[in-house]
Amino acid sequence: MNTSGRHFLQIPGPTNVPDRVLRAMDFPTIDHRGPRFAEIGQQALEGMKRIVKTEKGEVIIYPASGTGAWEAALVNTMSPGDKVLMYETGHFAMLWRKMAERIGLQPIVLEGDWRHGADPNAIEQALRADAGKDIKAVCVVQNETSTGCASRIDEVRKAIDAADHPALLMVDTISSLASIDMRMDEWGVDVVVGGSQKGLMLPPGISFNAVSPKALEVNKAAGLPRSYWDWEDMRGPNAKGFFPYTPATNMLYGLVEAIAMLEEEGLENVFARHDRLAEATRRTVRAWGLELLCQEPRHYSSSLTAVVMPEGHDADAFRDAVLRNFNMSLGAGLSKLAGRVFRIGHLGDFNELSLTGTLSGVEMGLAIAGVPHNKGGTQAALDYLAETSPYREPIKTAAE
Measure Cα distances from 388 to 284, 377, 384 in Å.
Answer: 15, 18, 6
Residue 359, exposed/middle/buried by CB under 10 A (0-12, 13-18, 19+)? buried
List alpha helices for the chain, DSSP H: 19-25, 35-52, 66-75, 91-102, 120-128, 153-162, 213-219, 231-238, 249-265, 267-288, 315-326, 352-368, 378-387
CA quadruple 46, 47, 50, 51: dihedral sign: negative
Q: Which of 231, 230, 201, 196 is nearest to 213 (CA)?
A: 231
As a whole number of angstroms, the distance between CA 68 and CA 70 comes to 5
Would you call 25 helix, strand, or coil by DSSP? helix
Residue type for 272, please? A
Count of CA atoms in the C-beta half-sphere (13 A) of 248: 21
229 near 10, Cβ under 8 Å? Answer: no
* DSSP structure class, residue 54: -
Half-sphere exposure of 24 (CA within 13 A, CB side): 21
Residues tagged in the binding site annotation for substrate: 343
Number of Cβ within a 10 Å radius of residue 50: 14
d(CA 184, CA 192): 8
As a whole number of angstroms, the distance between CA 61 and CA 59 comes to 7
Kindly calculate the radius of gyration of the chain based on its CA atoms and give it in whole angstroms: 22
In the annotated binding site, the residues are 343
Residues 97, 141 contacting (CB under 8 angstroms): no
How far apart are the C-alpha atoms of 167 and 133, rounded to whole Å?
A: 8
- Give CA–CA dist 365/361, Å, rounded: 6
